Amino acid sequence: MDIHGIELYCEDHAGAGIPRVFLNGIGMTASHWKDFREHLKPGRDIVHDFKDQLRSAKADAPYDMDSHADELCRLLDACEVDAGSVIGTSYGAEVGLLFALRHPDRCHSLVMIDGVSESDAVLKTAVESWKAAALSDARVFYRTLIPWNYSARFITENRQMLAEREEAVAGLPREYFEGFARLCDAFLRFDVTDELSRIVCPTLILVAEHDILKTHAYSQRMQDHIPEAELEIIPGAGHAVVIENPKDCAERTQVFLDRLDY
């Protein structure tokens, strides 16, 4: 879809009920939600890649994360959706938070999976290292992501899959890594903790037990400041919990949505 001059890859899966809008983590693409979505009840699902992600156009200038929220609003216009339940993980959870703040009338509910409202020096340094690696060597870049994103158990049990993904990443064009660097820059400027009390939609916060990147402290801070927000821990997984344990994440999300009369 052409959203005010930028081509965004979008999938609009037909179904009944309030649309569910899925927002990617920084290194994801729309297809990574497939396993998660299969564990939800049937419904209308809208999934897209942010600008600078794999299947969307690449930006020609720096931007803030607010621009993703604005583009999502226009994308929903194009899909003829008034409001949806926003489900985001990591970078996508933060875009979802901005969407709920900037466009509250269009956010029916919010599910944040391993997201933050600000970042400390450790998180900033991790993201800066990803950016540096992305601009220098594709294989080094992928390997810097692994220990931050997956639990020890998952790494041990999925070495072949991770090796295959490394090969796929190594074959991506230079423009992908330049886009990833811009996404990193946008995240490094993100800080909305002081605005959290203005969230008005029902909010579920999910955090993985072994997330060492966006730790429980971030989720607890958000629950403390977002009115009536719920917080649940997904056991046994690392930061990329929608990849490691999509079933548990989806089932907890479905229970939350069911209470909202979906």
- Domain ranges (residues) in the chain: 2-118+191-258
**CATH assignment of 2-118+191-258, among 3.20.20.70, 3.40.50.1820, 3.40.50.1980, 3.40.50.150:** 3.40.50.1820
pTM of the model: 0.97
Give the pLDDT of residue 4.
Answer: 82
Return the bridge partners of 120, or none.
none
Stretches in the chain below the pLDDT threshold 70: 262
Helices (H), 48-173: 66-78, 91-102, 121-134, 138-149, 152-157, 159-170
Phi first, then psi: give them for residue 156, nearest 5 degrees.
-60, -40
Give the pLDDT of residue 262.
Answer: 55
- Cβ neighbors of 234 (< 8 A, separation 6 or more) are 206, 207, 208, 209, 241, 245, 248, 249, 252
Cα distance between residue 70 and residue 93, in whole Å? 15
Give the pLDDT of residue 3.
Answer: 87
Cα distance between residue 77 and residue 226, in whole Å? 27
- Identify the CA nearest to 249 among candidates 212, 205, 215, 219: 205
Q: Is residue 162 a contact partner of residue 139, using CB atoms and an 8 Å limit?
A: no
* DSSP letter assigned to residue 58: P
